[in-house]
Each structure stands twice: as C-alpha cells, then as structure tokens.
Amino acid sequence: MRVALGLKARTGRAILVAVGGSQQMHVLRRAELKLLPAGDFAPYHAAEGLPSAAAQESVARSIASANRLAEQGIRNAIEALAGAGHEVCGCGVLVGGGMPPWSTDDILAVHVRMHHAEGELFREVLVAGACACGLIPTKLREKAAVEEAASMLGLARTALEAQLVALGKTVGAPWGKDQKEAAAAALAALKA
C-alpha cells in the first residue's frame, strides 16, 4: 500500500501519523518521535544565562542531537512500514513562517525569541530528517495546515475535517489536534 507520513513538531518531540490506502484511507502508524535526548531541555532555554561561546556550543549540540533523532525516528517509521509491505512515498511536514537572521546571542537576549527559535528548530529538523531519508517533504503552514491540505486535496475544509475525525475513530485515543493536523499533512503528501 502507498503510504505517506505526516509530521508535526512540538517542543522536543514530534507527532508522526502514517496514512495510506487507495479507496479508503487508513492510519497505519502513529508515534511520538523524541527530538531531544532524555533529560535535555529546550535548546535555547537550556543555554540561557551561559556565556556566549558556551551558549552557542550548547545550542549547536542540541541542534545536532535533534537532527540525528529526527532522521532516526523517521527512518525507523519508514523501515517498520516497509517491513509490513508498505511503500512510503511521501511526507507532509507542518512548517512555520521562518525566522529572522538572529544570532544565538540575539535569540537569548529576548525570551519570546527563544520560543520562536525553538519552534522553528524542531520544524526544520523534521524537514531535514525527511530529506535525509530520501523523501521530498510537502510543506504546509502549521497555522493553516487543515485549510492548505483541504485545498491540495480538492476538498472543502469541513469534508477534510470529517475525514480526519473518521480516521481517528478507527485508531482511538490519542487523536487530538496534533494527530489530526499530522494526518492532514500525510493526506496532502499522499496526493502530491
């Protein structure tokens, strides 16, 4: 069966939903991917208060770890799906609006920038992880994920929302906003 992954970043983790089918869609896998090693904290928050060089080194280590973990989590999902006889042919990733060219020092100087930078960081590592696994990510803006997916699928938003609710009923909890948006991204990627 042809399958696509949908990925939504959260702080230090990501929601993964794999959807596939031809006539009727099915959730074939859902998981939470760790994007930071156990015990690690949000990268910029963890670097707050450190001297500049140490802060930059701390953030760089966290980014490298997040990239490795994202790629590993995506690759593990692809391998598990392939082992079950499925072909992963796409990946939808919810992305942000980008970030100004701030340095680590600029980010650490204003608390709200740390939140913004971490949000972008975790979304970016998912895109990089998908690419490292040979997938070309279909990107949907996180703030308009369902609308953009509905448009890509040629559906009214309400029709897609109904389909997402129906998918959730087949797999049970947890099936909240994060899982629905990841599933919408997967459906858009499957169509693309």
pLDDT digits (tens, 9 = 90+) for 99-140: 999 999 999 999 999 999 999 999 999 999 999 999 999 999
CA distance 28 to 17: 8
Q: What's the mean pLDDT in 150-165? A: 97
Task: List CB contacts of 64: < 8 A, sequence separation 6 or more.
Answer: none
Which pLDDT value is given to residue 41? 85
- Portion of the chain with pLDDT greater than 90, in percent: 96
Give 124-161 as a 3 state SS string.
Answer: HHHHHHHHHCCCCEEEEEHHHHHHHHHHHHCCCHHHHH
Beta-bridged to residue 2, according to DSSP, are 87
pLDDT digits (tens, 9 = 90+) for 51-104: 999 999 999 999 999 999 999 999 999 999 999 999 999 999 999 999 999 999
Domain ranges of the chain: 2-191
- DSSP E strands in 47-120: the ranges are 87-95
Cβ atoms of residues 21 and 191 within 8 Å = no
pLDDT at 192 over 90: no
Cβ atoms within 10 Å of 159's Cβ, excluding its own: 12
Q: What's the mean pLDDT in 138-164? A: 97
pLDDT digits (tens, 9 = 90+) for 164-187: 999 999 999 999 999 999 999 999
Which pLDDT value is given to residue 122? 97
Q: Pick from 128, 7, 150, 19: which is nearest to 67 by CA?
A: 128
Which amino acid, one-letter code, is at 92? Answer: G
CA distance 90 to 102: 32
Looking at 3.10.20.600, 3.30.420.10, 3.40.1080.10, 3.40.50.620, the CATH number of the domain 2-191 comes to: 3.30.420.10
pLDDT at 21 over 90: no
